[in-house]
Structure 1
Amino acid sequence: MKPVRLVRLATAPLLAAALSVPLAAQAAAAAPPQQHSAAPATHAHHGKPGTLRAAAPEGFVIGSAVAGGGHHLEQPYPDPFTSDRPYRKQLAREFSSVSPENQMKWEYIHPERDRYDFAMADRIVAFAERNRQAVRGHTLLWHSQNPAWLEEGGFSPAELREILREHITTVVGRYAGRVQQWDVANEVFDDTGALRTRDNIWLRELGPGIIADAFRWAHEADPSAELFLNDYNVEDIGAKSDAYYALVQDLLAQGVPVHGFSAQAHLSTEYPFPSGLEDNLRRFAELGLATAITELDVRMNLPESGVPTRAQLAEQARYYRQALTACLNVTGCDSFTIWGFTDKYSWVPVFFSGQGAATVMWDDFTRKPAYHALRSALAEAARDDRCHRRHG
C-alpha cells in the first residue's frame, strides 16, 4: 500500500471559541467549526534563518510536542501553552509540526462519557494553522491515561466497541483535513512482543481485531489523514518491533488502512544508541509504510550539581543527530518530532528520579549542543537534496 504523503495546510483563521461539547451535540462536534483549505504548503522555507524548520529539507517536517495536560497539571506552573508567550514563540519559530503532548488523550479530551472537551486541542490546531505547521494527533487507542468512567464503567463488549467507535469518529472527524497524522494504536505490545491483553481495556475486552477496526473508523472519519502504529522500545530490531512487523503485514493483507509505523525514541545515554534504527525503519518502509520518529528525547543521569557535564551534553547531541540521520536516510521518513524542546517542561524528571536535561534547550530557551546537532544535520541533508535535484 502506497502511503499518503504528509500534507500541511495553508494558513487558516483562528477558531472562534474553544468548546466543551456534550454528546447531545455529537453531530456538530464531529465537524470542524470552520472549513479549511487542504492546499499543500512547503515546510522548510517558512522558518526564519537559523531555525530548525528553516534548515530542514523541502518536505521534511521537524516537530515538537506541545506541553500541557498530564503531569503538567501537578506542577507549580500554569499551563505552558496558554500562559508562556516566549514558549509559544519558540514553538512557532523552530518547528514545522506540533503534537499535543496530552491534550488529545482520552482523559483530557473525553473526561466524561457524555462530554468532550476540545478547548485545548482546538487552540493547538488553530495555532498550528496560523504558523503553517502540520499537526500529529495523539492518541486514539491506548492502555494508559484513560478516564475512570471508561476503565471502571463495567461496560459490556458491545458497549465498549461503540464507545471507541464513537470516540474515534468524533475526534478524528472534528479535525478532518486539519490533523495530518494520527497515532491510532499506541503501545499495543509489551517488550516481549506480546499484546497487552491485561492492561489494555480494548484488547482485553474486545480482542486484537479491534486494532483493525480502529484504523478503519479513523480512515472513514478522515480519508486524508495518515494513520500510524506508535510505540517505545521499537527503535531497534527485536521482539517488540518484530511483533509490529508481523501485525503490519497482517493488517495490510486484510486491506486495513494502516499508513505508517513510528518509533517514539525515548532514549537514555545510560544505554547504547539503538544501532539498528535505520534498518528497522527501512524494513517498514519496504512494506509501503511511511515511517516517523515521534517522541524523541535523550535523558541522562545528572551529577549531584544537577548540571550535565560537557561530555554528557556532547554524547546527548550525538544521540539526537544519529536518530535524525537514521530518519533522513530512509525514504518516506518525513516526520521527526522531539518530545518537548525545553527542560522547563520536560516529563523526564517527573518520571525518572535523578535524570533529566533530556531536551535540546535549557529552561531559558538557550540552545544546547543537541539543538545545534539537529540543525546542522538538517542543513546538510537540505544541501545534499538540492545538489541531487540539480545533478540528478
Structure 2
Amino acid sequence: MIHKNKYYTLVSILFGCSIFFMQSCSSNKKVTENNISSKKIDFQQYKTNNILVGATLNYDELNTIEEKLFLKDFKYLTPANAAKQSRIHPQPNKWNWTFIDDFIAFANKNKLAVRLHGPISPQASKWAKKDNRTAKELETNLIEFTTAFAKRYNNEPSVVWMDVVNETILANGKWFGPKKGTNQWENPWLKIGLDENGFPKYILKAFEIATKHAQNIKLVYNQNAGMEDIMWNKVKETILYIRSKGYRVDGIGWQAHLLLGAKRKDFVDNIDETMLKLGNLIDWAHENDLAFHVTELDFLIKNKDLNKKKSELLIQKKVYQKIVNVLLEKGKNGEVSLNLWDIGERSKKGTGKFQSIYDEDFKPNPAYEVIKNVLQTDKK
C-alpha cells in the first residue's frame, strides 16, 4: 500500500514528465488501437481544418427544423441527454432504451459519428439519489448499468466515443458528491467511497467496466467548469491514476457552457490568459496520448433588451473565434473536436438563455459565421 502523502508527492513529480504512467499504459494503448473495430464510422473523413465539429440534438428535435439544420452542416452527433442513466435505467428493475436506440438508428441512417454522453454522471436516477441508498446498492446499480450500456453499443458502427464519467470534480478541486434530497444537482456515486489513495471507487469501476466491455469505443473523461488550475490538475492526476490501474482513457472532454458560473467570465474578461490555459490543457492531453473534446459549447446571455443582446451576441462570436483559433492550432498536433450544445436558444430558468448558432426563429446568429468558416473544406 502506498502512503497517501508519498503518493501525491510522486504524482506531482510525474506531472513534469509523466514517464512512469505513460510506460505503464503504453502496452494497453497498443492493444486498444488493435481492437478498434474496422466497422466503425471513420470520423477522420468528417474533419475540416483538423477539427471535427458537431452538435447535440434532443429527442423531441428529431424530425423537426433542428434536425434539418443539424444535417445541413454536421456529421458528428451527441444525443443530448438520451444516454443518461436517469433516462435509461431509472430504477434497478426498469430499463428504457427507446430514446437512445432511436438516436442510434438515426445516426446509422445518416452515417453520423456519435459520442454517447453518459453513463455515470450527476444525471442519475432519483432512485440513486435517495439519501437512504447504501454504497453497496449504488455500486451494484452502477455495475449493472455501465456493463449493459457498454455491451449494447460496443459494436454499433456509429458509436465512436462514450463519456465514461461526467462532472466528477468541483471548480475548487474537491470531489463532486451527494446532497440531501433528490431534486438537487448532485453526484450520488461518490457515496461508494474512496480507494486507499483517495480516488473515487466509482470512477475506477466505471473505467474498469468500459475498458473490458467497450473495446471498440474511445473512452472519454468529461468535465465541466472553467479553466481552474486546481480542478484540471486533479483531472490530470486522476486520469494518470486510472491508467496506472491498467484501464483505458482515450480523451478529455470539457463542457464549455460559457458564462455559467463565476469563473467562466474569464472567457470574456481575461480572454487571452484563459485561451493560453486552454491551449496548455490541450497540449497536456496530446502529450499524454489523449484526444481533447470541447463537448458542450454555448453562451449564456442574460439581457432581454434587444440592443444589449445584439452586443452580447457579437461578444459570443469573438469568444467562439478565439476558441476555434486555439483548436485550429492544436489540431495540428493531435485529435480535437468541437461540439455545440443545441442548435438554437435554450432557456436557463431564472438566469437567461443559452445561445448556440441560431436564434429563436432559427436564423443564424453572428457565431454561426465562425462555425461555418471552420466547416469549409481545407484549402489545398
Partner residue of 1:90?
A: 69
Q: How far 1:80 sits from its partner (Å)? A: 2.5
Match for residue 124 of structure 1 among 80, 103, 106: 103
Residue 169 in structure 1 maps to residue 169 in structure 2: no
Structure-2 residue corresponding to 1:300: 301
How far apart, CA to CA, are the structure 1 residues paired with 2:328 and 2:366?
20
- Runs ≥4 residues deviating over 6 A: 7-10
Q: Distance in 1 between matches of 2:120 and 2:328?
A: 28
Distance 2:41 2:129 in 1: 40
1:80 corresponds to which of 53, 61, 69:
61
CA displacement at 1:267 relative to structure 2: 0.8
AA matched with 2:113? A
Q: Is the 8 A contact 2:91 2:127 kept in 1?
A: yes
- Structure 1's 115 and 140: CA in aligned 2 closer, same or farther, altered over 3 A? same
1:282 Cα deviation after fit: 1.2
**Separation (CA, whole Å) in 2 of partners of 1:136 and 1:9:** 16
**2:320 matched to which residue of 1?**
320
Aligned residue for 2:95, secondary structure, equals: strand
Q: Distance in 2 between matches of 1:209 and 1:270?
A: 33
Q: Which residue of 1 aligns with 2:250?
A: 259
Does the C-alpha gap of structure 1 residues 198 and 121 become closer, same or farther in structure 2, counting only changes over 3 Å? closer
Which position in structure 1 is the counterpart of 2:192? Answer: 205
Question: Does 1:336 find its partner at 2:338?
Answer: yes
Matched residue, 1:230 = 222
Q: Which residue matches 1:219? A: 211
- Structure 1 residues 155 and 315, CA, compared in 2 at 3 Å: closer, same or farther? closer
What is the SS of the residue equivalent to 1:180? strand
User: Do the aligned residues in 2 keep the contact of 1:301 with 1:356 (CA within 8 Å)?
Assistant: yes
Q: Quote the RMSD (CA, aligned, Å).
A: 2.7
Q: Deviations over 1:154-199 (max 9, x none)?
A: 4443332221111011112111133211111111111111112444
Instruction: Give the aligned residue type for 2:316.
Output: Q
Report the Cα distance in structure 1 between the residues aligned to 2:123 and 2:367, rounded to whole angstroms. Answer: 30
Alpha-carbon deviations, 1:238-287, whole Å to 9, x = none?
A: 11111111112222222221111111111138542332211111112211
Please report how far the alpha carbon of residue 294 of structure 1 lies from its aligned counterpart in structure 2 after TM superposition.
0.3
Q: Are 1:151 and 2:133 counterparts?
A: no
Gaps of 5+ in 2: 1-25, 180-186, 195-199
Other-structure match for 1:20: none
Q: Distance in 1 between matches of 2:99 and 2:115?
A: 14
2:40 alignment partner, SS class: coil
2:207 aligned partner, one-letter code: F
Report deviation, 1:295. Answer: 0.3
CA–CA distance in 1 between the matches of 2:235 and 2:289? 14
Q: What SS is found at the alignment partner of 2:140?
A: helix
Match of 2:240 among 242, 249, 265: 249
> Comparing 193-202 with 282-291, which one deviates more in the overlay?
193-202
Corresponding position of 1:66:
57
**Aligned pair in 2 of structure 1 residues 240, 357: CA closer, same or farther (>3 Å)?**
closer
Instruction: Determine whether 1:284 maps to 2:281.
Output: no
Q: Which runs of 5+ in 1 are unaligned?
A: 11-36, 45-52, 69-78, 387-392
Which structure 2 residues correspond to residues 185-204 of structure 1 after superposition, within 5 A?
A: 185-199=165-179, 200-204=187-191
Q: What SS does the aligned partner of 1:188 have?
A: coil
TM-score relative to the length of structure 2: 0.78
2:73–2:375 contact (8 Å) kept in structure 1: no
Partner of 1:137: 116
Give the fraction of aligned pairs with identical amino acids, expressed as a percent: 22
Q: CA deviation at 1:117?
A: 0.7
SS of structure 2 residue aligned to 1:183: strand
Give yes or no for contact 1:9–1:40 (8 Å, CA) kept in 2.
no
Deviations 1:63-116 (A, max 9, x none): 111124xxxxxxxxxx222xx422211122211111121111111111222121
Per-residue deviation, residues 314-348 of structure 1 (Å, max 9, x unmatched): 221111122222223223333210101112xx2xx
C-alpha displacement of 1:215: 0.7
Structure with the higher fraction of residues in helix conformation: 2
Describe the shift of the 1:197–1:141 C-alpha distance in structure 2 as closer, same or farther (beyond 3 A): same
Per-residue displacement from partner, 1:211-257 (whole Å, max 9, x unpaired)? 121011012221011111111124x2511111111112222222221
